[in-house]
Chains A and B, each alone.
Chain A
Amino acid sequence: MINALLWVPLAFGFVGLFLPKRVVGWWATAGAAATLVIGVIMAFGFDNGAAGLQDTVHTSWISGLGVDYSLGLDGLNLFLVLLTALLWLGGIAFAAFREKERPQLFFFLMLAAETGTLGSFLSQDLLLFVLFFDLMLVPFYFLFGAWGIDRTAEGGPTAPRATLKMMIYTLIGSLLMLVGAIATAIISAHGGHLTFSIEAIQQQGLPVGSQRWIFWFFAAAFLVKMPAFLVHGWMPDTYRAAPLSTLVVFSGVLAKVGAYGFLKIVLPLFPQATSQFQTVLLLLALGSILYGSVMAFTQTNLRLIAGYSSVAQLGFITIGIFTLRADGSDGAILQMVNHGLVVGAIFIIIAILVERSGTEDLRAMGGMAMRAPVFAALFLIVTMATLAMPGSANFIGEFYILNGLFQAKIVFAFIAISAVALAAYYALRLYIGTMHNRKPDGVLSREISLRDGIVLAPLVLCILALALYPQLILHRADPSVQQSVAAVTESSESNLAVNE
């Protein structure tokens, strides 16, 4: 089952290469839908109370090197897997309605990227994780470069150049992570049997000295992927170059792999280093929140507003994880899913807005709500969720995170809380700037088409459903989160005991 979940997208994509242009979009949509169905079936079979892995697959892959093909579901990745499957379905369906050059290749790459992303969520072997983490980026290189938009007219880079920048930035991190992963396995083996199994490495443990530098190798990979403040340099150019239907999944899911990596790998494997560098990471995350928010309400390009708001939101999620408390991390998991849904919907909305107005500039837009009440309503729900309106699941996520932060580091909490107000400003600015005000000439106010509505409505429904019942995620994630966090708290307590 779990094998099917992982490989179905790639298989559909491969077959799609040989199909005629007209049907390949539908074929790809069917592939993404099939993946989602498998994911949902697995979610129903998921044992809620358990902390350990479920639906595991474990076979030796490269025996000489200690690498295993080992997959599994737990409370940490279950909903991220579902989010991945859902957003990919949305992104692919949205693209399937539109004309494309070389559609076979486009959809093959999209589906290959889905397999890569699912692989990094499902991997229970450290090296397999690193492999999928790198692999999921490769299709996006081609998607952004070959189907992207050149910005030379605005003084920006061409699409291949922007994409190259993204590749180099993100691979700096992941290549160092490869070295870090290998070092982790070798050091923890203590000359014995070499294994990359995350569980086994956690049991064997690492000396604190090694943890310190390996921690940063991993953190570099995850922070760049998010992107976090100071390593976000690739983000603006890439977001401007990328086709919007790919940004739905790129912004919605790939950023979360970084946050997930902290919870899945960094906390359990490098507990002492984590508690040592907690403050540094909190500072970085706070930087992300403030910088992302400020940039989001000064930008005029719709993509960049959404992009910088993601930086801020990912900052929030990082803070939740590095409270090193169960409530903060629970909130982080919930918020990862929330933000994925919200930002996925936002990019679909932006794509529709851009089609109606022919521009991406907020200043040249407005008045679009006039003849489009349904579209406006859907957009408004998404906006309210983005600014974490009480009643939305985002509110609950942020509440958990801030609650954890107040218990952990109260000073940071006071600064972070201001970000909630900033989020309200940039989210409402986006909504008002496009939907309200006077309608400039050339901007079309038209109701959302049925086809786009079918893509957007399920995402909005999921946002609403989570708002009503966030426990759906919290209950299932909590046991696994407790485990990850306990690794850190136990080790820091034992540290204190040694020091005393």
Chain B
Amino acid sequence: MSGAGFAAPHVDYAATAPIIALTVGLVVILMSGVFETTKRWAPGLAVMTLAATAGLLLWHWNDQIDLIAGALRVDNLAISISLIAIVSAFSTILLSIRERAAEEAGQGEYYALLIGSVLGMVLLSEAENLVTFFVAIETLSIPLYILCATNLRREGSLESGLKYLIVGSLGSATLLYGMAFIYGGTGSTDFAGIAHGIQANGMLHDPLILIGIALAAVGLAFKTSIAPFHQWTPDVYQGAPTPITNFMAVATKAAAFAVFVRFFVVALGPETGDWQLGLAILAAISIVVGNVGAIGQDSLKRLLGYSGVAQAGYMLGGIVVASEKGLSSLVFYLAAYLFMNLAAFAVIVARERETPYGDDIRGVRGLMAERPSLAWPLTISMLALAGLPATAGFIGKLYLIEALVEGSYTWLAVFIAVGTMISLAYYLRVVAAMWMGGEETAAGTSAAPGATPVISGASPEADPVDPEAGRRWYLLAPAVIAAGITVFLGVIPQPLVDFATHAGSSLF
């Protein structure tokens, strides 16, 4: 020890335990992939890792601990978002059973990457410093770039991975550039330090900071697929293996929104008046672009991609108002969104495996007569995403609109209402296909990227691999349980409201 004045920061191992658990799990899963005999344990090990992490996180519920010299912070917001990511990852593991992508990429690697991405999400939701913020967002993204491309023999999957890599890097670079401006203006990488620096250095409304805020917002908008930075979303969602799409749609969004709100409310709190309107306009654009883009999509994954853009617009509303209720409504919506999406994706995976149509809307035509146990979850999911009553989607919209009106952003609430109305046109089209046989769709109209054949997502290997997929427990159970929870939370929302209120109180 030369004693250069460096005092190693105190590490609270109890509070970092979830991160340690994930890291250990990641290494063990990767090692298990090396040996032929242990290879098939990978999914089980991943589930155990997630369960241990969830348990360790719940242990700290209601704590507020700053870790490692303020680089990370464990609070209810971080815990609740991490739990959403973990549940999403757990469902992804179920949907990945007998998935071609997981087998091709090698069991160990596939699940290790998934856990790695979850690690990034947990870090990101706890990040309280520009450096950890950036490291976490890369830890989250890089495994996902690879996971998108794991369906090695499908052109769409490779294209999806590459596209995500390029656009994602652009987003990261923009974000980093914005961080540089903010650091330059305030001289601090710490969120609280930035807020202090803005006022102490007289940088309030200074162009330097404002440019930084704008660039950071754009970078985060890439990650949360907010229009007009959403162009990658439909293509990547469509090309990626469906279980991974399920994971990206919810978990990535949740983690990115967590850091979005923490960064803007804690670090840029003094500038609230400057960024509110900008974000509100982004939300409005996102709602319109997402909903209009989804109309006429024949590929269900593409449709859900565009719908995700619109839903991100709704959720951004929770950040715009910068209030406790806004944050609570955001967490509520993310949790509800997890179940609504899961029900849909589980059904899509099942239909991909049992029909030759891939994720095309033709795959679900007449589903109500053929497989009611799949048709009900998808119906409930679509109605919930459209925000109809007696589903969690309705309560989520109610929560968001209440927060917006209280925060004097009634016009954005009206945008949500109008967007929801447009969204009926495509959500109900899926429902109509299941219940009423649907209209004939012209062949080849699906706007697939590149040289995708007539049937979206199809290639020789897209032929049915498992004609009984719709009866497998690992697909049926997630679909039915997620749909059940969606309805349950629409009728008895109080437990989730309490959960969200706790998460919301951690920043205000």
Q: Which residues of A contact B (CB under 8 A)?
A: 61-65, 67, 102, 127, 131-132, 134-135, 138, 141-142, 145-146, 158-161, 163-164, 167-168, 171-172, 175-176, 178-179, 182-183, 186, 194
Contact = CB atoms under 8 A, between A and B. Distances in A.
Contacts of A134: 388-389, 394
Interface of B: 328, 368-369, 383, 387-390, 394-395, 397-399, 401-402, 405-406, 410, 413-414, 416-418, 420-421, 424-425, 428-429, 431-432, 435-436, 438-439, 493-494, 497-498, 501
Given A64-B501, A182-B402, A183-B405, A146 B435 contact: yes
A307 B369 CA distance: 32
Contact of A131 (B389, B406, B410, B429): B389
A257 to B, nearest CB: 14
Given A134-B389, A168-B424, A160 B432 contact: yes
Contacts of B328: 64
Contacts of B429: 164
A182 B398 contact: yes
A164 B402 contact: no
B414 A135 contact: no
Nearest to A66: B402
Contact of B394 (A131, A141, A142, A172): A131
Nearest to B417: A175
Given A138-B388, A167-B428, A168-B425, 19 more contacts: A62-B494, A64-B497, A65-B398, A132-B389, A134-B394, A145-B436, A146-B435, A158-B439, A160-B438, A161-B439, A167-B424, A176-B414, A178-B417, A179-B405, A179-B413, A179-B416, A182-B402, A186-B405, A194-B402
A142 B435 contact: yes
Q: Is the interface of A mostly helix, strand, loop or mixed?
A: helix
A102 B389 CA distance: 25
B394 A186 contact: no
A67 B410 CA distance: 19
Contacts of B497: 62-65
A172 B497 CA distance: 27
Contacts of B498: 64
Contacts of B416: 179
A127 B398 contact: yes
Given A62-B493, A176-B414, A160 B405 contact: no
A135 B439 CA distance: 25
Contact of B432 (A138, A145, A172): A145
B40 to A, nearest CB: 39
Most buried by A among B368, B397, B435: B435
A172 B423 CA distance: 11
A136 to B, nearest CB: 9
Contacts of B398: 65, 67, 127, 178, 182
A175 B436 contact: no
Specify which of A63, A132, A146 lies most central, judged by the most chain B CB atoms within 10 Å of its CB.
A146
Nearest to A191: B406
A194 B389 CA distance: 21
B428 A186 contact: no
B424 A186 contact: no
Contact of B425 (A67, A135, A146, A164): A164
Given A64-B498, A141-B428, A179 B401 contact: yes
B180 to A, nearest CB: 40
Contacts of A158: 439
A385 to B, nearest CB: 35
17 contacts: A64-B501, A65-B402, A102-B369, A134-B389, A135-B389, A138-B383, A141-B431, A146-B368, A160-B436, A164-B424, A167-B424, A167-B428, A168-B421, A171-B424, A176-B414, A178-B401, A179-B417
Contact of B421 (A138, A163, A172): A172
Contacts of A159: 436
A161 B436 CA distance: 10
A63 B424 CA distance: 29
A158 B435 CA distance: 14
A106 B363 CA distance: 24
A102 to B, nearest CB: 8
Given A131-B394, A179-B410, A182-B405, A65 B399 contact: yes
Contacts, number: 95
Contacts of B395: 62, 65
A132 B368 CA distance: 25
B413 A182 contact: yes
Contacts of A132: 389
B218 to A, nearest CB: 29
A102 B435 CA distance: 11
Contacts of B414: 176, 179
Contacts of B388: 134-135, 138
Nearest to B397: A178
Residue among A127, A132, A163, A175 with max Cβ neighbours from chain B (10 Å): A175
A244 B439 CA distance: 23
Contact of B401 (A63, A145, A182): A182
Nearest to B394: A131
B421 A175 contact: yes
Nearest to B400: A182
B387, B417, B501, most chain A CB atoms within 10 A: B417
B276 to A, nearest CB: 18
A102 B436 CA distance: 12
A175 B405 contact: no
Contact of A63 (B418, B436, B494): B494
Contacts of B421: 168, 171-172, 175
A11 B221 CA distance: 46
Nearest to A147: B436
A366 B397 CA distance: 53
A145 B410 CA distance: 34
Nearest to A131: B389
Contacts of B413: 179, 182-183
Contacts of A172: 418, 421
A179 B388 CA distance: 14
Nearest to A17: B372
Nearest to B410: A183
Given A131-B389, A182-B405, A146 B394 contact: no
A145 B494 contact: no
Contacts of A160: 432, 436, 438-439
Contacts of A131: 389-390, 394
A141 B386 CA distance: 14
Nearest to A177: B417
A141 B387 CA distance: 15
A176 B425 contact: no
Contacts of A138: 383, 388-389
Contacts of A175: 387, 417-418, 420-421
B407 to A, nearest CB: 10
Contacts of B410: 179, 183
Contacts of B431: 141
Contacts of B401: 178-179, 182
B432 A164 contact: yes
A298 to B, nearest CB: 31
A108 to B, nearest CB: 12
Contact of A186 (B383, B387, B406, B425): B406
Contacts of B438: 160
A179 B421 CA distance: 13
Contacts of A194: 402
Contacts of B494: 61-64
Contacts of A161: 439
B438 to A, nearest CB: 7
Contacts of A186: 402, 405-406
Contacts of A127: 398
A182 B387 CA distance: 15
A175 B314 CA distance: 14
Nearest to A168: B424
A347 to B, nearest CB: 22
B367 to A, nearest CB: 12
A219 B144 CA distance: 49
Nearest to B411: A179
